[in-house]
């Protein structure tokens, strides 16, 4: 296993359980594992116990995955190692999903036993001037930097095409020596530019989904929850814009390495550090902000017995929103950070499938290039 493969393997197996484990702790206070509950019950004994147990199982599965990877991945040849690594990632995510569903069913039964949907007062609220009275996103003009970076990377490839060696380096081993190359061609030379363009589209799309998704507000304090939600969106818009810019610069540095301006080992090290910083900041932002700004310090207010629109029936397994009566294409997630699509809206489904096709296409293109 080379340096990059080893680093990414253990890093991903360490990050995945952390990301999943924190989800019940960063959600809105009127939700538990995708089920609507009164805010006053968020810190009740059974709900707190469920969160702690979920944390335990996420960490346990993550540690098991790291142990298995150490025994089975290291001795394998590079090609088989990558294939098994991808299988392990898929299996790990599926296991996490099954654990989540177990807790979802558990809280659903608890809600029925406690009669929360009967005793609690259900209220639906909205803020018709939310977008006008709050700054919900940083300026989209920052995306012009994306065009600048992509254009500069493409220009470097065109100007210095003849300088690029006949064999474009792709992979290095544990000693820092390149062991895999691709024949120089427009595909191999401009692959970083293609990646930049596709990633630009994805980050711009995420930016606008955060900006356009209707806010979920607290019926007990509409003004305060509007403020928190606006902070949530603004912080994530900044992360999306500048996190995306960092990723574009990483691929731009590959072009600099290919034309001999930057040392490839330095590019590798800086790129790995940048990826770690981006992921770490996303985790920190999730913990400090929470979904819908739930972890932003409120000005005041006490939890009550109101349930903000008990629409559990529209949320399949607490994660998949399907509501033909709702014209919205995107809604805020119930479990996790960010937005999801209304699967009853054909246009939303088409966009969702399109994003998946792009991501899969990038993976397939990268694997073909690496052969």
What is the full DSSP assignment across 285-327? HHHHH-GGGTTSPPSS----SEEE---GGGEETTTEE--TT--
* CB-CB contact of 26 with 283 (8 Å): no
Q: What is the structure's pLDDT at 118?
A: 59
Q: What is the structure's pLDDT at 3?
A: 47
H helices, E strands: number in the chain:
12, 10
Q: What is the structure's pLDDT at 96?
A: 92
Q: What is the structure's pLDDT at 86?
A: 73
Please state, in angstroms and rounded to a whole number, the distance separating the CA atoms of residues 150 and 200.
9
Please state, in angstroms and rounded to a whole number, the distance separating the CA atoms of residues 300 and 305.
16
Q: What is the structure's pLDDT at 369?
A: 59
Q: What is the structure's pLDDT at 19?
A: 86
- Extract the residue ranges of the chain whose pLDDT is less than 50: 1-4, 174, 303-304
Q: Compute the residue count for the chain.
A: 371
* Full-model pTM: 0.82
Q: What is the structure's pLDDT at 147?
A: 96
Tens digit of each residue's pLDDT (9 = 90 or more) over 322-334: 999 888 899 999 8
Per the structure block, which two tokens stand in for 142?
């920052």
Q: What is the structure's pLDDT at 54?
A: 96
Query: Which residue, 97, 87, 98, is CA-closest to 65?
Result: 87
């Amino acid at each position: 296993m080379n340096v990059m493969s080893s680093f990414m393997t253990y890093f991903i197996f360490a990050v995945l359980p952390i990301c999943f484990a924190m989800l019940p702790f960063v959600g809105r206070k009127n939700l538990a594992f995708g089920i609507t509950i009164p805010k006053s019950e968020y810190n009740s004994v059974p709900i707190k116990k469920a969160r702690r147990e979920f944390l335990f199982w996420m960490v346990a599965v993550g540690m098991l995955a790291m142990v298995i990877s150490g025994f089975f991945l290291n001795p394998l040849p590079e090609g088989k190692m990558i294939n098994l690594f991808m299988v392990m990632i898929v299996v790990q995510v599926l296991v996490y999903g099954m654990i989540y569903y177990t807790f979802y069913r558990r809280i659903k039964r608890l809600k029925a036993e406690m009669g929360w949907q009967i005793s609690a007062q259900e209220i639906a609220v909205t803020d018709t001037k939310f977008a006008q009275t709050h700054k919900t996103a940083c300026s989209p003009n920052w995306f012009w930097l994306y065009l600048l970076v992509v254009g500069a990377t493409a220009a470097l490839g065109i100007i210095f095409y003849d300088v690029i060696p006949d064999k474009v380096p792709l992979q290095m081993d544990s000693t820092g020596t390149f062991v895999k190359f691709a024949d120089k061609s427009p595909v191999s030379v401009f692959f970083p530019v293609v990646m930049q363009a596709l990633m630009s589209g994805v980050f711009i799309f995420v930016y606008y989904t955060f900006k356009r998704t209707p806010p979920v507000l607290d019926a007990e304090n509409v003004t305060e929850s509007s403020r928190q939600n606006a902070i949530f969106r603004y912080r994530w818009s900044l992360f999306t814009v500048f996190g995306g810019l960092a990723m574009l610069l990483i691929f731009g540095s590959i072009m600099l390495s290919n034309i001999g301006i930057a040392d490839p080992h330095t590019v590798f090290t800086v790129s790995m550090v940048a990826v770690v910083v981006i992921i770490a900041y996303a985790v920190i932002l999730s913990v400090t902000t929470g979904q819908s700004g739930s972890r932003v310090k409120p000005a005041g207010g006490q939890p009550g017995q109101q349930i903000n629109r008990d629409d559990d029936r529209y949320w399949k397994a607490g994660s998949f929103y399907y509501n033909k009566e709702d014209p919205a294409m995107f809604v805020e997630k119930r479990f996790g950070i960010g937005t999801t699509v209304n699967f009853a809206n054909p246009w939303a489904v088409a966009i969702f499938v399109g994003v998946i096709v792009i991501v899969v296409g990038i993976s397939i293109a990268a694997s073909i290039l690496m052969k």
